[in-house]
Structure 1
């Protein structure tokens, strides 16, 4: 099969319907489903060109892994932006608390509006918002939904003898439908169907994948909570919520393992592995200032004779010490040049000071011709 076969005729979005009527949700997802199919089929074409069987389960599994690599690699710039946004949110946390303390207990409309204005002005000044840290997840979710519906529709399309919305034509859809992981587990089958059909091997594979998904999600969150939080972050209510979510959130994958097709579960598990590795690198190389991970990095650098300068760049220890000396001298010079602040003086103290001065008589001046009292 040539690559030109991938870019075969594509149905228009208007053809995406549900029950013969207009389906707004499917229409919105149509461009993403088209893109997902293109990436998936492109990997399938590449692996097939390398000699792998087009209908083999491992070929389609590796195509799904390739899809994860493309999607997550495309999200790296957003992830870097997320990290920078989180750093800025931590930097402005003291200022944010000052604003909150300023309006604490004030429930009138004017106070609430003033607090909102000052908070937004602070976010604008530092170029960050709380939403920025959610961008990668928000962007990935529509892609995940597009993949979910693409793989969920394989059974329906294969039985109807049709293809998807783009590159996943009828022939490739039938190949995907017939593909089985390890030759026993169909990629289009979920756990409910596997249990109903007595497909024990498929159920076992799905259970193992779900357990691995839960473990990878738990370990990823544990890395953040145990190593990459500053002491200040561990004192707030948000930290307690994170600890609760550490044990609750991973079990949401139980639901996914039961109702999602095996192909989607493989995508999600592979994406979890990417997240876990990505977090490990970030925590090791770009830890949160003041966290245990930051201290460990400083220790590793010190053993190599290096340190972090004021801009966060790794430099030789000699250069770091010279910079610290310059900063100290500059601070001392600024302190010496600053005008000394005089303490406010009370009336009684001022009166005593004036009396101590030569000729400091607070009474009326005596006339030189005035007769002296005998």
Structure 2
């Protein structure tokens, strides 16, 4: 029973999965090298995530390159139909555009796939970094002696409640519950979130546990602090606390987290090929998004845990290295070969759906012939054909579609009058 974990049906399992991986990384470095560091575990986890996402990233880069090559043809279609807004022209333009995308083997929404995949990862990691002991069992074990000692002190519930309120820890606790496992988890949550001054208060409230409190505090500083910052705190909270206590080095370190996030995001975006040309609407939207995204990420770094900022910075560094290698690879790729393969795939896909190439061509010729025939008729001939059609429908079987169409037409005419 782990009440401090997020219980969401989608993000909950993802967060627990990442917590399990982080615990394995943490234990590996602890047992092999004697290094206990959550920040290091986050960096290694980031590298593994981007390694797993590399095939998707490579596919994204091919999309961008093919989209650039496709732009002249796409713009020619747009120019061809210009401002024609009639239904026939719109449908014809849509059909030609769809065939063009099939030719190049890309999707209009292909550039959004990576962002869609990354969003649940970000939100799940936010949950993990916000409360590491709830997901990394090895870290939670560090608090065992202290928590058991606190639970043996009479009236500890009131003391822990006041500590939570005094330091505004932002954790949800209920020390009135009877479940001892829940109480254990709540105490871990509170102790894990305590600032440096909070540990001194803890010793004042539990003087008999001073030795255990000092040992636990030392362990927490060893694995959960990065450049003097608690990775579960937000840079904004650290800046406020550091400014009030004149801890200027920590204040600078907290400011550098969003600054480095912005710089690395900009560098990674500079290396990425952009879809579309300068005059393309999609290219303009992508350019605007690339300009605003680093600013947004820097802002988010102020109000989310430092651990998430470390993830974003490490991720941007991974993307920079990854993008450099991909750019070198893409220089050697023959786009014409890729287009030819995509055309063959599109053809096989249509044939599987029962639409052979000759059927498409025949349908196109029949449509063209029919449109040409109608366009060459004189006004008198058109009126004669419409008259004959009206006579035919007037004598239609009462149960036929033509008879029903007549009823609808007569109903509309009456209403219009």
TM-score range, shorter chain: 0.5 to 0.7
Unaligned runs of 5+ in 2: 133-168, 176-184, 194-219, 339-417
SS at match of 1:27: coil
Q: Distance in 2 between matches of 1:250 and 1:89?
A: 24
1:91 and 2:73 matched? no
Please report how far the alpha carbon of residue 124 of structure 1 lies from its aligned counterpart in structure 2 after TM superposition.
2.7
Please report how far the alpha carbon of residue 28 of structure 1 lies from its aligned counterpart in structure 2 after TM superposition.
1.7
Q: Distance in 2 between matches of 1:288 and 1:110?
A: 42
Show the counterpart of 1:264.
Answer: 308
1:37-116 equivalences under 5 Å are: 37-54=19-36, 59-116=37-94
Please report how far the alpha carbon of residue 255 of structure 1 lies from its aligned counterpart in structure 2 after TM superposition.
1.0
1:181 and 2:225 matched? yes
Q: Deviations over 1:327-352 (max 9, x none)?
A: xxxxxxxxxxxxxxxxxxxxxxxxxx
SS at match of 2:55: helix
Q: Deviations over 1:296-355 (max 9, x none)?
A: xxxxxxxxxxxx89869xxxxxxxxxxxxxxxxxxxxxxxxxxxxxxxxxxxxxxxxxxx
SS at match of 2:9: helix
Asked whether the equivalents of residues 173 and 186 of structure 2 are also in contact (C-alpha less than 8 Å), the reply is no
Please report how far the alpha carbon of residue 242 of structure 1 lies from its aligned counterpart in structure 2 after TM superposition.
5.3
- Pick the structure with more helix per residue: 2
Show the counterpart of 1:300.
Answer: none
Q: Distance in 1 between matches of 2:88 and 2:52?
A: 44
1:233 and 2:277 matched? yes
Q: Distance in 2 between matches of 1:182 and 1:105?
A: 58
Higher relative contact order (CA 8 A, sep 6+): 2
Distance 1:309 1:110, change over 3 A: closer
Q: Distance in 1 between matches of 2:312 and 2:49?
A: 12
Q: Distance in 1 between matches of 2:332 and 2:68?
A: 9
Asked whether the equivalents of residues 83 and 133 of structure 1 are also in contact (C-alpha less than 8 Å), the reply is no
Aligned residues: 261
Distance 1:46 1:189, change over 3 A: same
Q: Distance in 2 between matches of 1:273 and 1:159?
A: 37
Show the counterpart of 1:221.
Answer: 269
Structural RMSD (CA): 3.7
Q: Distance in 2 between matches of 1:152 and 1:42?
A: 19
Distance 1:176 1:88, change over 3 A: farther
Taking structure 2 as the reference length, the TM-score comes to 0.54
Unaligned runs of 5+ in 1: 1-8, 17-25, 162-168, 290-307, 313-374
1:211 and 2:259 matched? yes
Asked whether the equivalents of residues 39 and 67 of structure 1 are also in contact (C-alpha less than 8 Å), the reply is yes
Asked whether the equivalents of residues 82 and 134 of structure 1 are also in contact (C-alpha less than 8 Å), the reply is no
Aligned with residue 296 of structure 2, among 215, 227, 252: 252
Asked whether the equivalents of residues 229 and 288 of structure 1 are also in contact (C-alpha less than 8 Å), the reply is no
SS at match of 1:198: helix
Q: Distance in 2 between matches of 1:53 and 1:70?
A: 19
Q: Distance in 1 between matches of 2:70 and 2:130?
A: 45
Please report how far the alpha carbon of residue 264 of structure 1 lies from its aligned counterpart in structure 2 after TM superposition.
0.6
Q: Distance in 2 between matches of 1:28 and 1:209?
A: 29
1:131 and 2:175 matched? no
Q: Distance in 2 between matches of 1:195 and 1:236?
A: 43
Aligned with residue 242 of structure 2, among 193, 198, 214: 198
SS at match of 1:279: helix
Asked whether the equivalents of residues 176 and 187 of structure 1 are also in contact (C-alpha less than 8 Å), the reply is no
Q: Distance in 2 between matches of 1:174 and 1:45?
A: 24
Asked whether the equivalents of residues 77 and 93 of structure 2 are also in contact (C-alpha less than 8 Å), the reply is yes
